[in-house]
A and B are shown apart, each in its own frame.
Chain A
Amino acid sequence: MVQPLNYLKESPSQTAGPYVHIGCTPNFAGLHGVYDKDLGAGPMVNDNTRGERITIRGFVYDGVGNALKDALVEVWQADADGFYNSPSETRGTADPNFFGWARCPGDMTTGEFVFETIKPGQVPFKDGRLMAPHISFWIVARGINIGLNTRMYFSDEEEANAVDPILSRIEHRMRVPTLIGQRDGDILTFNIHLQGEKETIFFDV
């Protein structure tokens, strides 16, 4: 016998199910009068937020190319200077006008998600090298048993992407473009493919 370590086990995940909107975005689901507005809804910026305004648009596709109509997408990102608005951010103080987190349910008819935000600054990897600008994504839906983590990088950051510590160690190079949002003006298009030829790279974070 040895001494027990006494760690607890993480609560096992279960699917968000078809009615995740009732709990996470009730106003979007037509349930008004309890929450003033849905958590994480609307623009992530105000007039005083520093940084370059961008809009991210995309769809979540299943293995036969159908856009999910019932997915919920959350994003988490640094501010324009690369600081996170989090108590665990110890390198500096983030822009007080930028929370850095938002959630968007896919449109019930088309499935499209939209985030109005800013382009994040660069955040250092644990060895001090700078990671290319990126936004963390978390996707849940009916049929997804455990939330999926991925990242969106920027197509207009080729140089930074080429030396990004995460992107540069991905063995199957042809899959790297699944992590790159395609920039056209202020619009970034970032589609997420759950399965199939174009399956997005998901991370065990």
Chain B
Amino acid sequence: MKNTLPETTPFFARDRDWHPPAYTPGYKTSVLRSPQRALISLEGTKSEITGPVFGHNTLGEFDNDLIINFAQPGESAIGERIMVYGRVLDERGRGVPGALVEFWQANAGGRYRHKKESYLAPLDPNFGGFGRTITDDDGNYAFRTIKPGPYPWPNGVNDWRPAHIHFSVFGHGFAQRLITQMYFEGDPMIWLCPIVKTIPDEAAIRSLVAALDMNASIPHDLRAYKFDIVLRGRRSTLFENRLEGN
């Protein structure tokens, strides 16, 4: 069944043991930016159950094509051409339609186009490193990009981020708001990264590793990685206010 009727119930409680805790000294910046007191539970009121929903008129024609959306006409970004595709689901396994998904990343050499970035790898004049899309009626999304490179960062003396793409996702309720990162199958750097290791559960980490999908690849053009994103599910409406739509 498609998840198209507006839903009005609260979300499942968030499993805080599955997410990284706020204080993770291996990731040094978290030390002074982590609340130390207990969160106060606020079971969903209208203010959390509702959330902004974005129309397709939000998007420009090339927002989901990082290979060309910052490039000079006729040129394209340097690097391994890939497509990232998947579904935005909720914890009940239902597709989330109309979810705005934003993504950003370093270029093929591991360099971000940002004034505070100082890594010696060169900028690619044809790569901006950001895009966005909105999921279809079944929760599907896809975009084209180049595979980002790993990069060093100031934490330990020799810490490197694995190749990754940052994701920001809007579902249907403000309490579903999520920022996370996607990693690539087979990358040994994943298991060395202090930011990855803020996540306590290895199964949770694996859920952020995109799988190479040769069936979805386009011969002589690009390879595909599949990355599903799961947002919080909503509680049942069955015995709350109506029988339909459960």
Binding site for B on A (CB under 8 A): 6-24, 26, 29-31, 33-36, 39, 62-64, 66, 68, 70, 74, 76, 78, 84-91, 99-101, 108, 123-126, 131, 134, 136, 138, 140-149, 151, 166, 170, 175, 194-195, 199-205
Contact = CB atoms under 8 A, between A and B. Distances in A.
B215 to A, nearest CB: 22
B129 A87 contact: no
Given A16-B179, A34-B69, A194-B34, A124 B195 contact: no
Contacts of A199: 35-37
Given A29-B115, A36-B60, A144 B33 contact: yes
B174 A13 contact: no
A184 to B, nearest CB: 25
Given A62-B32, A143-B32, A23 B41 contact: no
Given A34-B70, A90-B6, A205-B175, A22 B92 contact: no
Interface centre among B35, B41, B113 (most CB of A within 10 A): B35
B166 A17 contact: yes
26 contacts: A8-B90, A9-B18, A9-B230, A11-B207, A11-B208, A12-B204, A12-B208, A13-B19, A13-B180, A16-B166, A18-B114, A22-B104, A24-B102, A24-B168, A31-B70, A33-B70, A108-B115, A136-B47, A141-B33, A144-B30, A144-B33, A145-B22, A149-B42, A194-B32, A195-B35, A199-B37
A12 B33 contact: no
A11 B199 CA distance: 11
Which of under 10, 10 to 19, 20 to 34, or 35 or more describes the interface residues of B? 35 or more
Given A10-B15, A14-B180, A16-B166, A86 B231 contact: no
Contact of A12 (B53, B90, B174, B205): B205
A39 B58 contact: yes
B189 interface: no
B225 interface: no
Max chain B C-beta neighbours (<10 A), residue from A12, A74, A78, A202? A12
Interface in B1-50: 6-8, 12-16, 18-22, 24, 27, 29-37, 39-50
A24 to B, nearest CB: 6
A32 to B, nearest CB: 10
B34 to A, nearest CB: 6
B114 A22 contact: yes
B181 interface: yes
Contacts, number: 269
Contacts of A90: 6, 8
Contacts of A144: 22, 30, 33-34
Interface in B78-135: 89-93, 102-104, 112-117, 128-132
Interface of B: 6-8, 12-16, 18-22, 24, 27, 29-37, 39-54, 58, 60, 62-63, 69-70, 89-93, 102-104, 112-117, 128-132, 166, 168, 172-175, 177-181, 195-196, 198-199, 201, 203-205, 207-208, 229-233
B32 A19 contact: no
Contacts of A7: 12, 91-93, 233
A144 B175 CA distance: 17
